[in-house]
Structure formats: structure tokens, C-alpha cells
Chain A
Amino acid sequence: MSAVVVDNRVRAARIVLVVLGVLVLAFGAWVLVTTVRPNRIGGLATWLLGAVVLHDAILSPFVLAVGMGLRRAGRALRTWVLVVVQAAVVLGSVLALVVLPEIAAKAHGTKNDTVLPFDYTTRLLVVEGVLVAVVVIALVVGAVTARRRSDQPLVAGTTSP
């Protein structure tokens, strides 16, 4: 690896940002220990650690594997088909991440009928169904137009998530 060259103005700005950051972070730590009882901070530490482990050890490898699979499966697709499929998969995943806890919260019980008033399970299934339909239509239209214009080249390499 070549030596890292740091510009002088960057160096000055870096010092300011890091010092300010350390101060703000320390203030946050002070607010934490003065407003939260010590026996609760242990529970928070578990959650902070758990969040990183859950993301880095479970979600990331999963996303990496799915991404590689999509990249391979998508290499014969036309660009626009690939972009549509990819957008639908990412949107569907993020919606599931946001709405599944909402379904769990509703199952857990709400304080009154105006909190979580919808049938989120059905709504999530409908929206995910629409996204699946969009993917299928894009794939079919892509395949049909590709066959009609078979003289045009396909996208060679494709993409990752």
C-alpha cells in the first residue's frame, strides 16, 4: 500500500472534527450515566453489542450471499430488467424489516384501538405480492423483447446489491 498523503487543510479540519467529536461523544456518555440508572446501562450495552453482532455476523453475510446470487442470476438480463428486479428486491426486503416488527408489536398488544389500526400482515403480503408481480412482469417482458430483438447484444456483466 502506498503511503497516505494528507493535505494540510485536511489535517487541520480533521483535528477540529475529531476533537469536537470526542467532546460531543463524551457529553453523550455523561448524559447517559447521569440520566440512566447503572443497572439499566448493562442492558443497553447488551443491545449495543447485540446490534453490531446481529448486523455483522448474520445480516451482512446473508446480504452478501444474496447479492452474489443476484449478480450471477442477473448477468443474462437486460439492464433495465436488472435494475427493476434489484429495486424490487431491495424495497421488498426493507419493507419487511420495517413492517415485521410492527406486526409483532400489534400481536404483543396495543394500548388502544387507534395505535396500529391496520391489518399489517395482509397489507405486507399484498405489497410484497405486487413487488413479486412487478419482478415477474419485468422478467417476462425482458425475455420477450430480447427474443424479438435477438440481434441486439445482452448485458454482459451485471451488478451486485
Chain B
Amino acid sequence: MRHTRDAMASPNRTARSAVVTGRLLGIAFLVCFLTGVYSHLLQEPLGWMRFPTRPVQLYQFTQGLHITAGIAIIPLLLAKLNVVMPALVQTPPVRSVLHLLERASIAVFVASALVQVVTGLLNTYQWYPWPFPFKQVHNALAYVLIGSLLIHIGTKLQIITRYWRKRDSFDAQGRFVADATVGSELPDPNDPAGQEARPGSASPSGGFVGRLHRWIDGTPAPGPVAPATDTVPVTRTAASADGRRQRVARRGFIAGVTAATAGVVALTVGQSSAVGEPFNVFGPRKRHLGQNGLPVNRTARAAGVLATATAADWALTVAGPSVSRTFSRAELIALGQTEARLPIACVEGWSQMATWKGVRMRDLLAAVQVDPDVHVRVTSLERHGGYRIMEMGPEYTADPTTLIALELNGEKLDLEHGFPARIIAPGRPGVLQTKWIERIEVIA
């Protein structure tokens, strides 16, 4: 155990490296948490909640950020876990009840972080090879993760404040300054085997670990003590060489993590950002690919609406408290169409701006003598699925860009995009832009 831990000693496995990677990772987790909670509340609002409809690209932005930050977490999390690797095999493994609880909270944190990242990534590929429901677990684990992160920051706060600033972390030669009073569990790279703390151990840099480090770094085995007159200059040169070695190591590490984070983000972000589109090498979606020049999530076949959505007698029922009317597609067109530029932004991260044409929701509500500021329930022809029924608050129903869309990107709405009619509203996730609608009902 101790040998393994000593062998892990590195200029990149210090409390300072843990603080630097931890800060970035903490920010990324917080961004994912906040954007994730926003997305969840949009889909399952508490009764009193109202949401902004401007800018119309708000959800496209927050959810694109959620997925992008989530992808950036992959290299950052691996980097952080690599930095703190020696703490995993610390001796003794448990020092006290409090220490046991702290290590347990870290286990919860690491487990939930890994599962969140892996299942979130695979969700963007629409692949669910696990025995639990994705949406509910992703939501619950987000709180578990943030809770255990707060505990982790709390327990490590003394170390975090000690090594927050660069100038407090390194000496003039660029060597890491180990401070035993803050309780870091990572070995000192200047003294990997920690001999100073272990009087009576074998000669410095001796034993297996010493040989291993000499093999790796090509430093000579400790020889006889030099004559007293030479000691000071020799030590200074050794310190400066060691400082240089540590600086190079840190630079290499930062370069690796930066390249991995920037690379993995740049090559996938094109699925949700116009800027990244030319570099969309590995994105799970390609913008403008699909019917009406737009990707498809749920097909008409998967929804079981091939017959009902193409039936000649299709009609949309609009039920107000006093008046109820049905509209054929031709009658909807006759109500007068409005054009709106609104994005489709999927919870899985891809998004694209599109031009929609259709009847304003508030015009349709006026046709059944209802004021636009109402809650409505929209039902799809879909036979099953969690989004067959969708509810919409007054901020959307009254919005002049909320449409019962009949055309998309200058063409008749394709069957895959919700023909004969679908909902499009500003700032909502794609799953709430209900396709193949058959009924709109005023509920309050």
C-alpha cells in the first residue's frame, strides 16, 4: 500500500494540483447542475412557476451549455481523480470515525459523478444500456452529487484556502511547498517516500520506490555526503533543477488536460452551436440533416401515428370552458398564419434554429372565446410515451410566437416533424414542442 502510494508521488499529484483541477471541475458541475435543474423544472414545473420566453434561444443556450459542460467534465474529472490517486491508497486507510465518514462521502461523490457523466454521455447517443430509468436517476443523482461536493469542499476547505493562490504554493525555485498543517493526504513530490516524517526508515530514496523513481527520472543514487564546503551550492543547483523538473511536469499536465478538454468540446459542440458546426466531427447530430432540413427525435412510426396523422378526417379539437370547436387543416390555414423564427432545442443537447409558419395559439384561443392568458393541455395522437400530454402556462399561450405550426422551413410540415400540426413555443425543451396534436383544452 505504502509503496504504491509513494510510487504515485508526482509534481502533479499535490494539493495545489487538486485545487486547480477541482476549481474547474466544481464550476463545470455547478453549471451542469443549474442548467439541469432549469431543464427539469421546465418539464415538471411547480404550480406557481412561470418561465421567461425571451430570449427565444434561452433554453437552446442553457441546454447546449449543460451538454457542453458535461462533456468538458470527462477530461476534468479524470484529471482530478488522477491528481488525488495517492489519497485512495493512504495509510492507515481510516484514521477516525470522522475520517471514515469523509472518505464515504468522497466515494458517494466519485460514484455519482462517474455515473452521471457516463449515463449523460450515452443519453446524447440515445443509448440506454442500464437497468434504471435515465431521467429520474439523472435528476436525483444531481442532488446527491452536488450535496457530496459541498461536503467535500467543506472538509477540504483548509487545504483549498492554503493552496488557492499560485504564489503561496511554490517556492522561488518553482518547487511545491508542502504544508503538513493543512492535512493534505497527497505525498510531497520533494520527498516522495515521506522519510522526514518517518524517522528510522531506510536511507533517503532507498528501497523499491527509490529505485523506481531513479529508473523513471534517471537521477543518480544518493552517494556519500559531499565535503562541507560544497554543500550549499550543490543543494541550490539541485533545488533549481528540481524546480525546473516540477514546472515542466505541471506545464505538461496542464497542456494535456487543456488539449483534451478543448478538443473533445470543439469536436462535438457543432451539434448545438453554429460556431462549432464546421468542426462537428463526433457530434451525435448533424444540423440541417433530416426532413424539412431538421433532425428528428421521435419518428411517426415510433409514436404509432402513421395512420392517424395521415387520416383524411383529422381535425384539431379546441375545447374552451363554454365553446368547443374542431378545425381541419384547411380551416386552421384559413385562420391566418404567422411566421416565427424559433429553435428546436432537445434535452439531449442538439439544437437548431428553424422558420415556422402556423396559427398563433392566442388567435386559436380567441376563436373559442378564451383570453390568451390561460393554462392549456395539449394532447398528441401518440399512443404512448411520457410526453403524449403536455401542459402550457399563460406565458407561452399569450406569446405572439407560440404557434400551432403547419409549415417548417418553407415546406409543408413533414410527418416526422408532427404533420398535420404541432406546437412550437419559445424557450421550451423539444419534448414539450408536441407533435401530431389532436386536442387543445383550456384547463384554467
Contacts and interface: CB of A to CB of B under 8 A. Distances in A.
Contacts of B427: none
Given A27-B143, A40-B133, A127 B281 contact: yes
Contacts of B114: 51-52, 55
Given A60-B81, A68-B216, A98-B121, A111 B111 contact: no
A24 interface: yes
A115 B126 contact: yes
Contact of B218 (A10, A29, A32, A157): A157
B133 A28 contact: no
Contacts of B153: 17, 21
Given A22-B151, A160-B10, 7 more contacts: A55-B81, A91-B259, A95-B267, A98-B74, A112-B302, A115-B125, A115-B126
Interface string A49-82: 1011001100110011001100110010001001
A102 B284 contact: yes
A5 B161 contact: no
Interface of B: 7-8, 10-13, 71, 74-75, 78, 81-82, 85, 88, 105, 107-108, 110-112, 114-115, 118-119, 121-122, 125-127, 129-133, 136-137, 139-155, 157-158, 161, 180-183, 197, 212, 215-219, 241-242, 244-245, 248-249, 251-253, 255-260, 263-264, 267-268, 281-286, 289-290, 295-299, 302, 416
A21 B140 contact: no
B111 A48 contact: yes
Nearest to B290: A114
A45 B235 CA distance: 53
Contact of A47 (B110, B132, B244, B282): B132
Given A36-B136, A97-B74, A102-B282, A60 B147 contact: no
Interface of A: 1-7, 10, 13-18, 20-29, 31-32, 35-36, 40-44, 46-49, 51-52, 55-56, 59-60, 63-64, 67-68, 71-72, 75, 79, 82-84, 86-91, 93-95, 97-99, 101-102, 104-106, 108, 110-118, 120, 123-124, 127, 155-161
Contacts of A14: 154-155, 157-158
Chain A interface mostly? helix
